[in-house]
Structure 1
Amino acid sequence: MEQNLNLYQIFYEVANCRNFSIAAKKLYISQPAISKSIAKLEEHLHTALFHRSSRGVTLTTEGETLYKHVESAILSLRSGEDLLKSATSQGISHLSIGVSTTLCKYVLLPLLKDFIATNPNIKITISCQSTFETIADLKSGAIDIGLVGIPSGDISEASFISYLPIKTIEDIFVATDTYLAPFLHKNKADSYEFEAFFKEASFIMLDKENISRKHTDTFLNEHQFTLHNIIEVNNMDLSIEFARAGLGIACVINDFVKEDLKNGTLRELKLGHKVSKRQIGFAYPSKIPMTTSMNTLIQYYQMLM
């Protein structure tokens, strides 16, 4: 098929011109080359495509059938070329971003409206998915850039993925006063580092494949905190909503519940130890040069975060 694409182009021009000599001039090749190409295509398809005469050529019935398909394909290709040339001449570029639902809501979207207004020639596609799916898509080339929680001390992806931090975040445990009241009464203090507390309390956690959950699990293991009752959810928004509803204690990013902590809807638990801070940032393939659009997006967020 691929080796015959040029033959179909020649066939198309001959059919339009109805003359080998005129088609040869239009394609800037010799008439014998035209004749040889048509003969080769007819041999490949095992059928005659043209009726030859002293006045020129006309399509056979089989040639007419082929012409309809070739014309459609060539016009489609030309249309694609025209759109690409138009986009290039106007400076329009496309940027595909992979991001989790939580980071999209709390980090990407708040500044995206102004970014689009400032950069109208960058068309953006957003895929909401887990960090691990984003990394996989970066490797396969399905997306250009990702906004992710940067894996702590993970060097396994170093040769494939580069990270540019834009913000430091901290995970905390929160719950309503109503939910915590019985435990506060038992412990006689605003501290919940007793083994009995971890046996009785319900913890709202992200699923184990989530990078935030992995970071939290590392913290819990380091301090030998064992959770006995876990409610698993697949995004942090649900964790926050479950905590607000008084269903348990959620591990969330502190920036995302600032208003809840301020107005008293939620309270931060003091576990005697703090979860280590981590970073979120942009991820992109290490071996592929960043495009102008990628650089523009990164610089915009680094400046304003």
Structure 2
Amino acid sequence: MRNPINFNHLECFFSLAKTLSFSKTSKELMIAQPAVSKQIKSLEAQFKMQLFIRTKQKVQLSCPGKNLYDKIWPLYSAMCARINEGVETTTKIEGKITFGCLEEVGEKVFIHALNKFKKTNPSIVFEVRFLKAVEIIEGVKSGAIDIGVVPDKIIQENIRIYDLLEEEIILVTGRQNADKKIGKIIELPFVAFRESDPLLEYYLRKVCPNIKLNKLNIEFVINSHKAMIDVIKQNNLYAVLPSLSIRKELAKNEIVNIGPVNLKSKLFLIHRDFEYIDRKIIMFRDFLKEFAKNIV
């Protein structure tokens, strides 16, 4: 059943009961003064009672008006408080966020972002999946992953993409080789992430386009950047690695950058493009973008 009470009129009544001034109520509610008079008259007509006594000098509550105020103000204020509580509750984010990322940069960089976001949003539950780029993209497309970080800029329907981080792809070795002059790259002993190491292949394509990956002297294949660094330090080997994954080791001079050039590379943030995106996804996305700005 439709409630005949107009809550705008009630708000106007309570304001005027407190200010006892049509002009002050007009300013408080940010409506024209004639609109205040019209709303009070409509309320008086509905209740069939005069709520205010108006003279040229002043405005005051009538006895029926005071009785009405005393009876319904506590109910009205309690109702407003409950509504505000409900609104505050809806602004708190909760639930699960599934985050997909490349393993090495995820462990070295983004796990710190997740920890920081979790501290300020304790009701969020994270599911982190370290995957290949193609698996992250497929996961975002299918809805299995809420937000992903990938190394390639993709243009696909229903996926939003944002520039997130820029890093360098560099040729590194142990510090014991820092002063050695590197000869031909094809003669260097390498450790690779896998047999078809994408970073090593990318580096060759840009720096030594005449050298194919299968022609290199690859002595170790290890799918862990941390393990690759250990092998480099102990075996005088060389590797092509992303700067974000090895920035601490570079800073400590445990490994050194000896490449002729550093290649620029980017990481991108992706998520599904819905008309109404879940608020927690928006907040986490914006948090990651800000977090990335502070990474040196």
Partner of 1:258: 247
Deviation at 1:282, TM superposition (A): 1.5
Indicate the residue corresponding to 2:111 in structure 1: 109
Normalising by the residue count of structure 2, what TM-score does the alignment of the two structures yield? 0.58
1:202-247, CA deviations, whole angstroms, 9 ceiling, x for partnerless residues? 1222236665455435324546576521233223223222222235
Quote the residue 2:35 is aligned against: none
**Aligned position for 2:257:** 268
SS in 2 for 1:301: helix
For 2:164, the equivalent position in structure 1 comes to: 166
Paired residue secondary structure (2:235): coil
CA displacement at 1:160 relative to structure 2: 5.2
Aligned residue for 2:266, secondary structure, equals: strand
| Identity between Structure 1 and Structure 2 (%) | 17
Partner of 1:129: 131
Amino acid at match of 1:228: L
Q: 1:245 and 1:288 mapped to 2: Cα distance? A: 53
Structure 2 contact 173–232 (Cα < 8 Å) conserved:
yes
Check 1:140–1:202 CA distance in 2 against 1; reply closer, same or farther (3 A cut).
same
CA deviation map 1:270-294 (0-9, x unaligned): 32x332x111131223467532112
Question: In structure 2, what is the equivalent of residue 248 of structure 1?
Answer: 237
Shift in Å, 1:131: 1.6
Structure 2 unmatched ranges of 5 or more: 1-88
RMSD: 3.0
Partner residue of 2:272? 285
SS at structure 2 position matched to 1:108:
helix
Q: How far apart, CA to CA, are the structure 2 residues paired with 1:209 and 1:143?
A: 26
Match of 1:36 in 2: none
Give me the whole-angstrom Cα distance separating, in 2, the residues matched to 1:140 and 1:208.
30
Classify the secondary structure of the residue corresponding to 1:270.
coil
Deviations 1:79-133 (CA, angstroms, capped at 9, x unpaired): xxxxxxxx98975222111112212112211222221011122221111222221
Once the two structures are TM-superposed, the CA of residue 175 in structure 1 deviates from its matched residue by: 0.7
Instruction: Classify 1:217/1:244 alpha carbon distance in 2 versus 1 (closer, same or farther; 3 Å).
Output: same
1:229 pairs with one of 217, 225, 243: 217
Q: Cα distance 1:264–1:242, how it changes in 2: closer, same or farther (>3 A)?
A: same
Sort the Cα spacing of 1:170 and 1:100 in 2 relative to 1 into closer, same or farther, 3 A.
same
CA distance in 1, matches of 2:160, 2:217: 37
The whole-number CA distance in structure 2 between the counterparts of 1:180 and 1:241 is: 16
Equivalent residue pairs, number: 202
Q: Which residue identity lines up with residue 206 of structure 2 in the other structure?
A: F
Counterparts of 1:149-188 in structure 2, within 5 Å, are 149=151, 151=152, 157-159=155-157, 161-179=159-177, 184=180
Query: Does the Cα contact within 8 Å between 2:167 and 2:243 map onto a contact in 1?
Result: yes
The alignment partner of 1:170 has SS state of strand
State how 1:62-77 maps to structure 2 within 5 Å: none
TM-score by structure 1 length? 0.57
Secondary structure, in 3 states, of the residue corresponding to 1:245? helix
Correspondence for 2:101 = 99
For residues 130-157 of structure 1, what are the alpha-carbon distances to aligned partners after superposition, in whole Å with 9 as ceiling and x for unaligned?
22211121222221111222x1xx55x4
> Residue 81 of structure 1 corresponds to which residue in structure 2?
none
- Asked whether the equivalents of residues 147 and 283 of structure 1 are also in contact (C-alpha less than 8 Å), the reply is yes
The whole-number CA distance in structure 2 between the counterparts of 1:89 and 1:264 is 46
What pairs with 1:24-63 in structure 2 (closer than 5 Å)?
none
Change in CA separation of 1:238 and 1:133 when aligned onto 2, cut-off 3 Å? farther
2:191 equivalent to 1:204: yes
The unaligned stretches of length 5 or more in structure 1 are 1-86, 185-189
d(CA) in 1 for partners of 2:235, 2:276: 48
Structure-1 residue corresponding to 2:290: 303
**Contact between 1:98 and 1:147, CA under 8 Å: does it hold in 2?**
yes
Letter in 2 for 1:132: V
Max Rg structure: 2
Distance verdict in 2 for CA 1:91–1:270, change over 3 Å: closer
Distance in structure 2 (CA, Å) of the matches to 1:218 and 1:286 = 34
Partner-residue secondary structure (3-state), 1:147: strand
Q: CA, structure 1 residues 94+209, in 2 after alignment: closer, same or farther (shift >3 Å)?
A: farther
* Segment of structure 1 superposing worse, 253-262 or 112-121: 253-262
